[in-house]
Structure 1
């Protein structure tokens, strides 16, 4: 249903006032997605849509998608009201709210099924939303089975992570690892080879580590500042590094490293 709003005090805007307060939005069981490119990804995803708040121009851009979903509440307002309601200007005339739903359990993510031969991305302490979004975008591009987030990781449903991922956090399945690093043992028991990515010069090159890979890989990445914890490294089946020809370079951004690792691992688990 499409409705027009011309008053910034309209009570239908109340949920959007939480957009600038991610904790309050999460407590309400909601998340925000912004922009005309991301909103259709939300509509097409498994997440239930709460509503959209759009400008007239954004409505016209999204109309073909919205015509397929007449059940979605669409609020049309001037750009100034949208900015005032959401608390910031980087929405390009389109804000959307979705329901978080029940968190996916790790065991559910690991159930046999479609994509079970593809790699998993496992993260420890990756908190930056740009990195979270970039990692999900790479996971989506290289058809990863899913993403597992240990303690200290950022929220994939934070609006900046969603925007950076181009909506991939809404498509790629993910789950939290609540028993860490013990959950790495669960991955091994489910048939994954846990490969901890490191900058340690003593670790074998990634290509060597996966040269005879006969099962899907769970690629483990740590924070850019500190890398993986000792416990996580110890729990992995093998450690591996990405060799860099430039001796003056000691590391890669975690998103770049994950993209390379996913590309290298994927052909061996088709």
Structure 2
């Protein structure tokens, strides 16, 4: 199935429809090795810059792709309105892309870091996506996702990342128990740490981001940095704090 041929799917019991519906959560993405990309800006941009990442396009009407640059050989599916709306959980009313979710290689944390590497345990998909966007903006190309982290191709992650996930090297990391053995320098964001504005950033380091609310374990052997604030709020959002740290490192390297 390729070219201009459109396959019509009308039943929610169709094998394709059932598989795509599974892609709304991490379990389904892991099971099928696929993800759904949505967005009036994200879809055209992803097709233009990363066409090899996608294997199918889903629409209600073939005319919906009139302004898209579809790669040769991509599978084309026409869905009934009810089926499409069930998959279009963000309500974009715009073609959806089915992508191949890559199997992430395991990071070798015994090797020295190359540039700024992020070790991340953020469990909220939206926070993780926003972090991807900041990481790409400030040149942190490698993200090591700990076991506690959200799935990098969860729909909420993709929506917040705005295609930044395609610009990053994503790798699998260990649990907290193994992080202390990673080659350094190791730096962790912690409200009780040293003032980040006084820190002299090395070119190569690993920046550790803990889980939302929990932070990093007390026994983790890493230099801890805090972002000074007025104290009007108890703490910063994890992604906001990480973005400020990424910017600080970016400025130091210029």
TM-score (norm 1): 0.79
User: Residue 198 of structure 1 contacts residue 241 of structure 1 at CA under 8 Å; is this kept in 2?
Assistant: yes
Q: Is residue 2:34 matched to residue 1:30?
A: yes
Q: Which residue matches 1:98?
A: 99
**Using the alignment, how far apart are the partners of 2:158 and 2:241 within structure 1?**
20
Label 1:195 to 1:177 Cα distance change in 2 as closer, same or farther (>3 A). same
- Give per-residue Cα distances to partners, 1:116-159, cap 9 Å, x unaligned: 43x222213x2111101111111111121221111211001111
Q: Displacement of 1:30 after TM fit?
A: 1.3
User: Residue 17 of structure 1 contacts residue 87 of structure 1 at CA under 8 Å; is this kept in 2?
Assistant: no
Label 1:13 to 1:131 Cα distance change in 2 as closer, same or farther (>3 A). same
Label 1:157 to 1:187 Cα distance change in 2 as closer, same or farther (>3 A). farther
Q: Is residue 2:200 matched to residue 1:195?
A: no
Q: Displacement of 1:26 after TM fit?
A: 2.1
SS of residue paired to 1:82: helix
Q: Which residue matches 2:249?
A: 265
Q: Which of 218, 224, 238 is the equivalent residue of 2:206?
A: 218
Q: Displacement of 1:79 after TM fit?
A: 4.0
User: Residue 35 of structure 2 contacts residue 101 of structure 2 at CA under 8 Å; is this kept in 1?
Assistant: yes
Q: Which residue matches 1:15?
A: 19
Q: Which residue matches 2:221?
A: 235
User: Residue 42 of structure 2 contacts residue 163 of structure 2 at CA under 8 Å; is this kept in 1?
Assistant: yes
User: Residue 54 of structure 1 contacts residue 82 of structure 1 at CA under 8 Å; is this kept in 2?
Assistant: yes
Q: How many residues align?
A: 247
Q: Which residue matches 1:2?
A: 4
Q: Displacement of 1:217 after TM fit?
A: 3.1
**Using the alignment, how far apart are the partners of 1:47 and 1:132 within structure 2?**
24
TM-score (norm 2): 0.84
User: Residue 10 of structure 2 contacts residue 80 of structure 2 at CA under 8 Å; is this kept in 1?
Assistant: no
Q: Is residue 2:54 matched to residue 1:49?
A: yes
Unaligned runs of 5+ in 1: none
**Using the alignment, how far apart are the partners of 1:216 and 1:269 within structure 2?**
10
Label 1:150 to 1:247 Cα distance change in 2 as closer, same or farther (>3 A). same
Q: Which residue matches 2:117?
A: 120
Q: Which residue matches 2:198?
A: 208
**Using the alignment, how far apart are the partners of 1:242 and 1:230 within structure 2?**
18
What's the Cα RMSD here? 2.7
